[in-house]
Amino acid sequence: MELLPRDLPRAIRWEEGKLYLLDQTRLPHDAIMEHQETVEQVWASIKALKVRGAPAIGIAAAYGLCVALQSHQHLQSAEYLEKAQQFAEYLDSSRPTAVNLGWAMRRMMVRALSLKGGPADEIHQALVTEAEKIHQEDIQLCLGMGRNGVDLIKPGMGVLTHCNAGSLATSELGTATAPMYMAHQNGVSFRVYADETRPLLQGARLTSWELKTAGLDVTLITDNMAAHLMKEGLIDMVITGTDRVAANGDVANKIGTLGVAILAKYFSIPFYVACPSSTIDLNCPTGDDIPIEERDGDEVTTLAGVRTAPDGVKTRNPAFDVTPHELVAGLITEKALITGDYETELKRLFGGN
């Protein structure tokens, strides 16, 4: 049995030098791959969450840099590198919280600069290869998290997740969902509860759709139902993804995650976070140093495009929150399941990256 159904659309496709992104804002109704013809289009697709989820936006931006530089291969090496730096900074400015974006841009620039002085078309080819590597490596990172998290899911368990840290947010198995897909493949019978995740409904539109399509037992709930289900004894574990893990183990993730973590603590339910090395930011000392994206208030005053609030009402729309490491039972990484002393363990395992 395959871990992911073949007909489940992938978030990103790079084919014959062309970048296609699945427009996730149209899911679950339409699964449309949109050809990205310019760097401005890639920037706008990331900003509008057509492609979203920390690993996926890093991969999309890496290919986006290749799209941007495609027509600049005739330049002198130094001019090409200058353009590359400008486009990398531009793409990095599309969303601030997920560190994968900056990580991918830095990695691409390191590769480009390693060929400084060489012909621009050769640097360009090396960048395409680097973007493809980032894309392929993410498949392995997901598999690693799956292996290190699968044994946490025991028969009969109820697992709550928030937002979408699934296949749509990565190259393949997802981060939070990787242990779920593997447990399912191993024949373990368990239930997943997906928070709908207001304001943009990634849980309802994406997570419940992809897990249902893959044949997992998934139940959709609204965000405010989690406490009640925990009290009913239906939730045995929480697994979420993350957009950035600080050096001390604090984790930023979709707005609402902190509330879930606090509830989990109250009900003595372990709260796990799945994170690939590309999401770990050892240069960020604590969660207080993580920039939190503030999005347009229209996302709060509307629901699926329909206005639900009075004209002129004040809004706040932070897209992420930070869960302190004290509330985290474990970080499921591709190298190991880390269950404590996060600062030391993160440094020991990922300090050389």
**Which residues contribute to the site for ligand MRU (CB under 6 A)?**
49, 52-55, 98, 163, 165, 169-170, 174-175, 202, 240-243, 253-254, 319
**Cβ-based nearer residue to ligand MRU, 125 or 213:** 213
Q: Which of 92, 138, 195, 243 is catalytic?
A: 243
Q: Could you tell me if 77 and 119 are in contact, meaning their C-beta atoms sit under 8 angstroms apart?
A: yes
How far lies 185's CA from each of 1, 147, 202, 219, in Å?
7, 12, 24, 19
Give 221's strand partners: 195
| Whether 243 is catalytic | yes
Closest distance to ligand MRU from the beta carbon of 293 (Å):
8
Closest distance to ligand MRU from the beta carbon of 181 (Å):
13
**Cβ-based nearer residue to ligand MRU, 153 or 178:** 178
Closest distance to ligand MRU from the beta carbon of 167 (Å):
9
Which stretches of the chain are DSSP H helices? Answer: 39-47, 54-69, 77-92, 99-113, 120-149, 177-185, 202, 208-213, 226-231, 257-266, 298-301, 342-350
Closest distance to ligand MRU from the beta carbon of 345 (Å):
20
Of all residues in this chain, which one has the CB nearest to ligand MRU in the complex? Answer: 241
**Cβ-based nearer residue to ligand MRU, 62 or 319:** 319
Burial 63-80 (b: 16+ CB within 10 A, else e): bbbbbbbbebeebebeeb
What distance in Å separates the CA atoms of residue 286 and residue 306, rounded to the nearest whole number? Answer: 38
What distance in Å separates the CA atoms of residue 36 and residue 13, rounded to the nearest whole number? Answer: 10
**Cβ-based nearer residue to ligand MRU, 81 or 238:** 238
Closest distance to ligand MRU from the beta carbon of 37 (Å):
23
**Cβ-based nearer residue to ligand MRU, 163 or 214:** 163
Classify residue 296 as exposed, middle or buried by CB count within 10 Å of its CB (0-12, 13-18, 19+).
exposed
The residues assigned a catalytic role are: 243
